[in-house]
Amino acid sequence: MPDCLNSILEQEFQDWEAIVVNDGSTDETSQVAIGYQEKDTRIKLIEKENGGLSSARNFGIRSAQGKRFIFLDADDFLYSNCLFEIAKLVNQDSDKILIQYGYSYINEDKTSILHTVLPSEQKNIIPQIFSSVLGPCHSICISKKLCDGIGFFDESLRSVEDWDFWLRAAKVGATHKAIKSPLVYYRYVRNSMSRNPFVMYDALKKVILRGPQKDGRILENSPFNKNYDFDINPVLQNAFIRTLGVSIMQGEIEKSVLLFEKESQKTINKYNPEEFAGMCSYLSFRYWYSPTDIKNVLETIYPNFNLFFESIKYNKRWVEKALFHIFKQHYYHQNKYRYGNTFGSFFNYILRLKYEK
């Protein structure tokens, strides 16, 4: 949390309010927040009984005095020009506009930016929003008026509550404005080992299934809140593959096999090996490309995936191809570390010839 609050204090734009919601935590959250509150009266601590992430965010919304919000978790923090760049658009745009900006994946100790994602401006959020979330919650600024119209965060969801939130914003007619530069950091914490992939998948299914449907939770009348003709099956399949990537990474092989048997839209012999590439996602071990990370991934995580495919009993050559597509970026980076760019690229070309045909 200190990184988060320090990044707010260091903003070029100074007309802000920071609300820290302690959602029943028994750690040092309150003591840390009180220390900052004593230094700067723009920081306010609110204590409540534990109700989960959505409950905490909703409590903050109801307590806020400002007209626009950014939702920050304790590990999130901002570039120093973040609020200044957002304020430029707030002055000229309506309450129905979602302002989105780029975000940088940064390692846990803040020594290296691993990857940066820049948004593309979308003329129409619908139907794209039915396929995927716009971005991390703290990469989008929303107005209080729009929050009031969509009914806040769904406290019954234990995961992907942000996707559900932006879906409802789209259904009340929210439009999209993009700032094509990174303004927030996304700390790449190795939390995939503690994330419950099966709870996550249940929430993903719920959000995806009701995405194209008229939503009764929306408080504002809107012509965009209606039933849409949209094929959700590819979206469900992508979510399914990403979830398997997390559960297999965690070593939950038996549960992963059961999930595959229950939820897969087709039998294993109907898959192309490259369809499993999505198991390597930002939810699992994508961007783990330092020499140390690659060694860890190939020595401790790769065997789990090999065991999973052995457990669903498919032929060896097909399994080799599937594993290549899941781990190919790690192979590519490893070869360049070992042999340099020129010879590394040559060996990567040989790998592609071997496994992509």
Tell me the CATH number of domain 2-210, given options 3.90.550.10, 3.65.10.10, 1.20.120.1200, 2.40.30.60.
3.90.550.10
Question: 311-337 b/e with 16+ CB inside 10 Å = b?
Answer: eeebeeeebebbbbbbbbbbbbbbbbe
Mean pLDDT of 289-305: 94
| Domain assignments of the chain as residue spans, ordered by start | 2-210, 233-355
pLDDT reported for residue 89: 87
Q: For 76-93, how does the pLDDT look when each residue is reduced to its tens digit (9 = 90+)?
A: 889 999 999 999 988 766
Angle at 295 between CA 291 and CA 296, to 5 degrees: 120
Cα 206 to Cα 344: distance, rounded to the nearest angstrom: 44
Tokens of 150: 């969509």
pLDDT reported for residue 295: 95
pLDDT reported for residue 261: 92
Q: At residue 194, does pLDDT exceed 60?
A: no
Q: At residue 21, does pLDDT exceed 60?
A: yes
Burial of 340 (0-12, 13-18, 19+ CB in 10 A): exposed
Q: Of residues 150 and 326, which shows the higher confidence score?
A: 326
Q: Of residues 187 and 179, which shows the higher confidence score?
A: 179
Mean pLDDT of 214-240: 93
Closest CA to 163 of 132, 126, 127: 132
Q: At residue 322, does pLDDT exceed 70?
A: yes
Contact criterion met (CB below 8 Å) for 5 and 21? no
Q: For 148-175, how does the pLDDT look when each residue is reduced to its tens digit (9 = 90+)?
A: 888 889 999 988 999 999 999 999 999 9
Q: For 266-276, how does the pLDDT look when each residue is reduced to its tens digit (9 = 90+)?
A: 888 889 999 99
